[in-house]
Structure 1
Amino acid sequence: MKRKHLLQKYNLLKRTPRHQTRTAAGVKPGVIEAVPEAQETVMTVMAYDSNEKDILETVVTSIDEVAKLAKKWNTVWLNITGLKDVDAITTMGKTFAFHDLAMEDVMKLHQRPKAEDYKDHTYIVVRMPHNSPEGLAELEQVSMFIKENLVITIQEHDGDSFERIRERLREGKGRIRGTGAEYLAYVLIDATVDSYFPILDAFADNLDSMEDDILNNPSEDMLQVIYTVKTQLQTMRRSAWFTRDMLSSLLRDQNFITEKSENFWRDCYDHAIQIMDMAETFRERASGMTDLYMSAVSHKMNEGMKVLTLFATIFMPLGFLAGIYGMNFNNEVSEWNMPELQWAYGYPTLLGVMVLAACGMIAYFRIKGWIGK
C-alpha cells in the first residue's frame, strides 16, 4: 500500500499491457483486430475554408458524411476517439483507400512514433502523454492520416492536447484557417510534442521531493519508486527519440512539407530534441538517487552504530571496575585481597569513581565533536 501511494505521489507513467497489443506470429498482415476493453467510438469533424470565417463542427455517425464534407470544404479534420467500433474504422480505411498495413497499425497500440508515405496519403504515429482516470500519466498512441485536404486523428481515449487548436479554429486566430491539411498536421503534432514538457517539469519537481524523502526517511519502498522513475523516463526518452526520427524523415520529404511551413516543422523537431535531453538528464539524476539512497541508508546505519559504540565505550570501564570488585577474594587470608572492601565508604566511593569515569568520557566525546553536534 505504501509503495502504491508513493507511485501515485510521484505521478508515474502507466504502462500499456503488452498482451493486448501484440500480433500473434503467422497472422496475415493487414488484418484489423479489435482492441480489448476499447472505449466507445466517437467521431467529431471540424471543417473550414481558407477564405471564409464560417466553420463547421459536428459529430458524425458515418464515414460517408466525412467524405461528403471533404468535397465541400477546403480542409476537414476528423477526430476519432475510441477504438471499439471496428466496422467504422474499417470503413474509413476503405472509403479513403488507406493502406492495409497502416490500418492494422492503428489497432496495434505498441507502435513507435513513425511516418510512412503511401504515395497518395501519409500515415503518422505519435505518442501523447496525458493523465489517466487513476491519476497517473500514460503515453497514448495517436494515429494520423493526411490525404489531400483531409486530416484524420485516431485516439484511444478521451482527453488530448488539441483543445487549444480547436479554440483557435473556432475563433479564426492564427494561420491555421488560412492554410491546408499539411499545416494542420504540423499544429497537431507540435501540440503533442509540447505536451511532454509539463510532464517532464512535474518529474523535475518530483525528483526534488524524492531527494528530500531519501535524505530524511530512506525506506525500502523508495528503491522501487526510483526504478519506476528511471524506467518511465527511459520510456519518454525512447518516445522522443522516435519522434525526432519521424520529424526528420518528414523534413526530408519535399513532397509532404511545403516551403512556407518548413521552419515550423524544424521548430517542432528542435522541441523533440529538447525533450530527449531533458528525459536523459532526469534519468541520470534518478540513477544517481540509487547511490544517494545507499549512502543515506549507510549513513543512518552508521549513526546507529555510532550511538551503540559510544554507549559500549562508556560502559567499558564501568564493566571493568564492576568485574574487578566482583571477584571473590577472601581478604581474611591476606591483607592484600581487596582491603577496601572493609572500608565503610568503599561502595559509595566506587560508585562515585564510576560516575566520574562516565562523565569524563562523555565530556571527552563532546570536546572531540563526536556527540552533541
Structure 2
Amino acid sequence: MRIYNLLRSTEEKAVTARRKAGAPPGTMIYTGHREMERVHVHLTQYHGDFLEVQTEEESIPAPRTQQATQWYDLRGLHKLELVERLGREHGMHPLALEDIVDVHQRPKMEVYENGVLFIIKAFAFDAATRDLSMEQISIYLTENTVLSFQEDAGDLFRSVRKRLETSSGRIRSRGPDYLAYALVDNIVDKYFTVIDQIESELDRLEDVIMKSPEMSTKSQIHDLRLALLTLRKSISPLRELMNRFSDSESRLISQDTQVYVADLRDHVIQITDLVETYRDVTNGLYDLYVSEISFRMNSVMQTLTIVSTIFIPLSFLVGVYGMNWEYMPELRTRYGYFVLWGAMILIIVGMLAWFRSRRWI
C-alpha cells in the first residue's frame, strides 16, 4: 500500500508536468487532491496591546487598521480565484502564486522585489497505521503582512495563535518577519514530534524482533523505512532554506530576527542528523530481523537433524529384523524383543549424551 501511494504521487507529478507543458510562467494549476466544501480565510491583526481576529468563508476579511501587523491564513488551495485574489491584493509575484498551488514543490525560499516566499512541508505520523501524511505550507512575507496557505482545514499554527492571544513571548512586540519565523519554527518543531513517534515504533519493533518476530514485522520495518525516506527528501532542502533565511539581505528581514533563524538552522541540522541516524537504525533492524529469522530456522533445522540422526540407527535395526528371513537365530530368542528395545534405548541415550558433550543441544 505504501509503495502504491509512492507510485501514485510520482504519477501525479508526471500528470502535473504534462498539464503545465506549454503553459506560460505564472499559470496557476492546483496539483493536490484535497478539496473542502468551504474555504476559510482567517485574519489576525496585532500591534502591542491590540489584537483582533476575523474569519470569513469564501471571502477575504477587510483589515480594520493599516497600522497593525496583518496575518492572513487561507485554508484550502483548490479555490484558485480566492488564492489569486488574496495574492494580487498584496502584490504577490505570479511565480509565487504558481508555486503555492503546486503542492509538489520542494522546500525552498524565494526572494522577490516586494516579498519573500517560504515553502515547507508539514508532517503527521499515525503510529497505528505507520502512515506519514504530508502537507505543503506556503508563507509569504511582505512589508507589514504575512500570508500563510494550508491545504487542509486543520490549524497547524494553533500554538502561534495562542501566543498571540495570551501575549506571551516577544511575538506581539516584533514585526511580520518574526511572525514568519515563528510559523516556520512551529512546523520545524513538529518534526521532532514525528521523529519521536518513529523512534518509539523502532523501539517497539526491536522488542518484537527479539521476542517473537512475525511475517508482518518485515512490512512494518519497510513502512518506517519509506517514512524516513520521505522525511529525508523533504528535510534535506531545509538546510539551504535556513542558510538563505539567516543570511538574507532582504529589507523585509531584520538582523534581530536573523539571530533566531540561526538557532532554527541548528534545529534543522539536528533533525537531519536524527533522520539519518534512524535510517541506519531501520536498516539495522531489518538485518536483525533477517538474522533472527535465520537463527530460528537454523534452530528448527538443528532439532530436526538431531531427531533424524537418532532415528537412523534405529531404522537400521528395525529394518534388519523386519526382513522375515527363515534362518535368523535372533528371532527365536526368548528375550530378543526386549534386548532389541534395550539396545535402541541405549543408542538414543548415548547419542543424546554425545550431542550434549559437543554442545549441539
Q: What corresponds to 1:170 in structure 2?
A: 165
d(CA) in 2 for partners of 1:329 and 1:184?
Answer: 101
Map 1:1-373; keep pairs closer than 5 Å: 17-20=9-12, 22-24=16-18, 25-34=21-30, 35-39=32-36, 40-50=38-48, 53-61=49-57, 65-66=61-62, 68-69=63-64, 72-130=66-124, 136-255=131-250, 256-331=252-327, 338-371=328-361
TM-score, with length taken from structure 1: 0.87
Query: Which string of whole-angstrom CA distances, capped at 9 and with x for unpartnered residues, describes residues 269-325 of structure 1?
Result: 000011100000000111122222221121111111111101011111111211222
d(CA) in 1 for partners of 2:60 and 2:316?
Answer: 98
Question: Please, which moves more after superposition, 107-116 or 287-296?
Answer: 287-296
d(CA) in 2 for partners of 1:109 and 1:232?
Answer: 18
Q: Secondary structure at the match of 1:65?
A: coil
Residue identity matched to 2:320? I
**Identity %, equivalent residues:** 33
Q: What is the Cα deviation at residue 43 of structure 1? A: 0.6
d(CA) in 1 for partners of 2:75 and 2:60?
Answer: 18
Query: Which string of whole-angstrom CA distances, capped at 9 and with x for unpartnered residues, describes residues 32-53 of structure 1?
Result: 1244442231111110113xx1
d(CA) in 2 for partners of 1:62 and 1:327?
Answer: 95
d(CA) in 2 for partners of 1:137 and 1:237?
Answer: 12
Contact 2:42–2:61 (CA<8 Å) still a contact in 1? no
Unaligned runs of 5+ in 1: 332-337
d(CA) in 2 for partners of 1:65 and 1:26?
Answer: 35
Contact 1:129–1:137 (CA<8 Å) still a contact in 2? yes
Query: Which string of whole-angstrom CA distances, capped at 9 and with x for unpartnered residues, describes residues 195-248 of structure 1?
Result: 100110111111111122233333343333323322221221222211111110
d(CA) in 1 for partners of 2:86 and 2:67?
Answer: 18
Q: Secondary structure at the match of 1:153?
A: strand
Q: What is the Cα deviation at residue 61 of structure 1? A: 4.5
Q: What is the Cα deviation at residue 76 of structure 1? A: 0.8
Q: What is the Cα deviation at residue 62 of structure 1? A: 6.7
Q: Secondary structure at the match of 2:256?
A: coil
Report the CA distance shift for 1:45/1:260 in structure 2 as closer, same or farther (over 3 A): same
Contact 1:76–1:149 (CA<8 Å) still a contact in 2? yes
Report the CA distance shift for 1:298/1:61 in structure 2 as closer, same or farther (over 3 A): closer
Q: What is the Cα deviation at residue 355 of structure 1? A: 1.7
d(CA) in 2 for partners of 1:141 and 1:277?
Answer: 22
Aligned residues: 350
Contact 1:237–1:275 (CA<8 Å) still a contact in 2? no
Q: Secondary structure at the match of 1:59?
A: strand
Query: Which string of whole-angstrom CA distances, capped at 9 and with x for unpartnered residues, describes residues 36-88 of structure 1?
Result: 442231111110113xx12101103576634x44x524201111111232211
Q: Secondary structure at the match of 1:322?
A: helix
d(CA) in 2 for partners of 1:304 and 1:318?
Answer: 22
Residue identity matched to 2:213? P
d(CA) in 2 for partners of 1:257 and 1:270?
Answer: 19
Q: Secondary structure at the match of 1:257?
A: coil
Query: Which string of whole-angstrom CA distances, capped at 9 and with x for unpartnered residues, describes residues 232-268 of structure 1?
Result: 2122122221111111012221224312122210010
Residue identity matched to 2:272? M
d(CA) in 2 for partners of 1:83 and 1:213?
Answer: 42
Q: Secondary structure at the match of 1:370?
A: coil
Report the CA distance shift for 1:161/1:37 in structure 2 as closer, same or farther (over 3 A): closer
Q: Secondary structure at the match of 2:205?
A: helix
Q: Secondary structure at the match of 1:77?
A: strand
Q: Secondary structure at the match of 1:198?
A: helix
Residue identity matched to 2:45? A
Question: Please, which moves more after superposition, 318-327 or 191-200?
Answer: 318-327
Unaligned runs of 5+ in 2: none
